[in-house]
Chains A and B, each alone.
Chain A
Amino acid sequence: DSGVTQTPKHLITATGQRVTLRCSPRSGDLSVYWYQQSLDQGLQFLIQYYNGEERAKGNILERFSAQQFPDLHSELNLSSLELGDSALYFCASSPWGDYEQYFGPGTRLTVT
């Protein structure tokens, strides 16, 4: 158990809908990262937050947004969902200055 929690574990929704994925980092970790894992794109970095502020952006679509709250949990919002958004979404956390990241169990999103 990495100490990072993600909810929900599974999510099935229809195209055009909007969903919110939630992540709680390990106690004391200020950095939160979101990754997407799909069969065709592999593991892709989406976005990083540090202590509530956005620090780095990767291959994140404009339909996707994220935020980190004062209690350090983070949410990833996916809107206008398309079939191609079906994937595993992982959250990871780390202390600042530590390159090792601790991954949550992921949320499996299926868009039908």
Chain B
Amino acid sequence: SQQGEEDPQALSIQEGENATMNCSYKTSINNLQWYRQNSGRGLVHLILIRSNEREKHSGRLRVTLDTSKKSSSLLITASRAADTASYFCATDDVDTGFQKLVFGTGTRLLVSP
């Protein structure tokens, strides 16, 4: 079963606008990651934030993490048509200590020119 729930399920915006996606998870984590998937293709790692971090930036991406609320958000600023993809949050499994990833349900982002 999936650990994370993402909101919204789908998001449609214009180029240049910002896109915000939210992820909620259920258990304790060591870190949370965001991945992007272009239609039916492999996942690409975007950013990792550790449980002791609150905010992280990478280029046009900003990720926040609130472990007290078990939630994270991904902000893409000045979006481009090439950002059209599905975005997934993924958490590790603290209980087993292994590196398996538990993925959220994903947000489908459509950026129109």
Complex CA–CA separation, A58 to B99 (angstroms): 12
- Chain A contributes a number of interface residues (CB within 8 A of B) equal to 27
The stretch of A66-74, A77-85, A94-102 that contacts the partner chain: A94-102
Q: How large is the interface on B (under 10, 10 to 19, 20 to 34, 35 or more residues)?
A: 20 to 34
**Cross-chain contact A42 with B42 (CB below 8 angstroms):** no
Which of these, A44, A94, A100, A105, contacts B42 with CB under 8 Å?
A105
Complex CA–CA separation, A105 to B98 (angstroms): 23
Complex CA–CA separation, A58 to B1 (angstroms): 9
Which of these, B2, B33, B88, B106, contacts A99 with CB under 8 Å?
B33
**Dominant secondary structure at the A interface:** strand
21 A/B residue pairs, CB under 8 Å, sorted by A? A31-B99, A33-B99, A33-B100, A35-B103, A43-B88, A48-B100, A56-B100, A88-B40, A90-B43, A92-B43, A94-B99, A99-B30, A99-B31, A99-B33, A99-B99, A103-B35, A103-B42, A103-B43, A106-B41, A106-B42, A108-B40
